[in-house]
Each structure stands twice: as C-alpha cells, then as structure tokens.
Structure 1
Amino acid sequence: MPATHFAFEAICNVAACGIMTGFQDGSFRPEDEVKRAQVAKSLVLAVGGHTEALEVRGSPTFSDVPCDGLAYPYDYVEEAAALGIVQGVGDGRFKPYDDVTRAQFALMVVRAGGDVLRRPPVDYSPGFSDVPAYAAEAVRVACFNGLFSGVAPGVFGPHELASRAQVAKVISVLLVLMK
C-alpha cells in the first residue's frame, strides 16, 4: 500500500497497537469490507476491554455467536456486548460474518467512545439527509468529534459497507481522543 493512501498512517497506527492486522501474504487490503465480528474485536481492543481468559457465562448473548470450543468470535463479541458496544440486529442475533455498514459502524464507535466523545450542541448538524433515524444521533456525535465525514457533500452513505481503511482511520482518531 502506498504511503500516499488516505489511511496509511492510521493503518500503521492500528497495526502497531495490535488492533488490526494484515493478511498472511503481508497485505492489508484497505478496500476490503469488514465483518461485524472484526469491528467488535477491533473496538474491544481499542478500548482495552479484552481479557485472554475465555469465560463462558451461561447462554451466549447472541444465538448466532455460540461458544463452540473456538474463542473467536465469541470472546470479542461477548466482551463488546458487555461493554455496550454492540447490541445485535434483533431476534437475539448478531450476524458476526455480515459486512458492517457505515451506519452500524458509527453506532458501535460512538458506544465504544462513550464519555470520551464530546456531545454536539443541539443545533449542530453534519448536513446529511440520508441518515436513518436509528443512527442519526450516533452519526451526529461521530462527525462532531471528527470520526466520520461524508462520502460526498451532503451524503453520509449509511448503507455503504465500511472498508478496512475506513475502520482503521476511525479507530485511529478514536485512540487519539481517548488519550
């Protein structure tokens, strides 16, 4: 990946922190989509909420993320749920291997940032007309804190899939805000 890539420094930062890693072939694949379980893992690591001990506490939070002898993604998804970072998609499911949308990612990031993130003034608007109501406040907070910008003027692109580069960039900014 060239050093001129918009997320080059952010990718180097999250990789150095062990929050996101590359692939066995040495690439990072910045334009690839990101799975919901991968985002849960990255955010848990970013906020320091991961413990090495896999603790099975009765029934799993989500029916589609069982503890079947494999720690991943159960451990990170359970930790993300316990920290309030993820809430699932309804019907007791998380859909860990679905690609994450920008709106879903904004919700998770704002929950992960918690009190570290400044709340925008009541009259603040990032100027997007395409944000669904369920994500509107999270997008407002995320944009106010410099975590997100639109994909085009006036367009947030809430249903577009988040790329690995975008996730690295947002988490890198979150790490700075958490210092």
Structure 2
Amino acid sequence: MATTTRGRGANSNGRPSDKPNKFANAGAAAGGFLGGLGGSFVPPINVTVNNNKNAARAKGGGWPHAESLLPAPEFNSPAMVRNYCNTLRAAAVTLSIEVAMGAEIFESVLAAVPDPEGRAFGSRIRARKVARKMRKSADGLRDAAKNAAACYSTFQQEFEEEINRVRHRARKPQRPAMNWAQQ
C-alpha cells in the first residue's frame, strides 16, 4: 500500500513518485486551483476594515460603545437631531429587511420538521405560527424606521421658527464695509 505525501506528484501510471511536484501548491498560493487537476477553486479574499470612530466623534456624533448602531443621543443642534433620526431610520430599515428574510428562512427550516402527530401540513402550520412572531418583529422595525423619519419631520415643523431664526443669522450675507481710513 503506497501513500502519497503533500507536495509530491504522481508518475504517468498514477502511482506516487518520490519527486516533488513544484506546481502542486502554486495554484493555492495564487488563489486558484488547489492540488492541480481535480481540485476546487479558491478565490482570493481581501478584507478591508475602516475605523472611523475618531472622525465620527470629531463631528459631534460620537459612539457610546463599539456595538451601538446609533450615535450618542446628543441633541445640541438640528444637525445632530437629523443625524440621529436618519441613522435610526437607516438601521431600522436594514434590520427590518434582515429580520423579514430570517423569518422566511426560519419558517422553511421549521416546516421541514416532521409533525409528531402525523397530520398533513401540520409542520407547515406550526412553522407559520412560530415565524409569524418574527414577521411582526420585522414589521415593528419597519414602523420604527417610518417613525424616525416622521420624528425629524415633526421636529422641523414644530421648531421651524427657532430653526429659521438661527439659519438666517448664520447665513446673513456679508456687506462690504466702508473703510474710511483708506483714501
């Protein structure tokens, strides 16, 4: 009984040879086929990590901890209110889609479990009943996204006078000043 070792090739009759195959692992190193003929394809994987915590804190939207999806609840300006509501809306929409997808997958997995009483479609009924609660969670997240957008809209309507008062003061056009000393 002959055994082959990794990195060694086979001769023309299919038996292992003592001569190492210099191309056996070259494909794997290049992110291609493993082990020459008959191997599987392994694509190269690149991972990029962006760490923007310091940039977010410099803008005033600091993160209270790394696991949070929302900026710190600091409402010192209309821009911070808009940022918080928009981030909440975006996170809720994304989570709503993921939870709805999870509910579909959950239902299909549970539907494959056989019914203990042997009823026809019994497992599907039980799976639908359980997944309904997860769908309600997805609906709640979708409603949270709607309410976050409505919150900022209502904020603009209710505090329009204060916002406009500051906005006009901030954007007041500069008139050229007369310099009487220059003649």
Q: Greater Rg, structure 1 or structure 2?
A: 2
TM-score bucket of the superposed structures, by smaller chain: under 0.3
Higher relative contact order (CA 8 A, sep 6+): 1
TM-score (norm 2): 0.21
Choose between structure 1 and 2: higher strand proportion: 2
TM-score (norm 1): 0.22
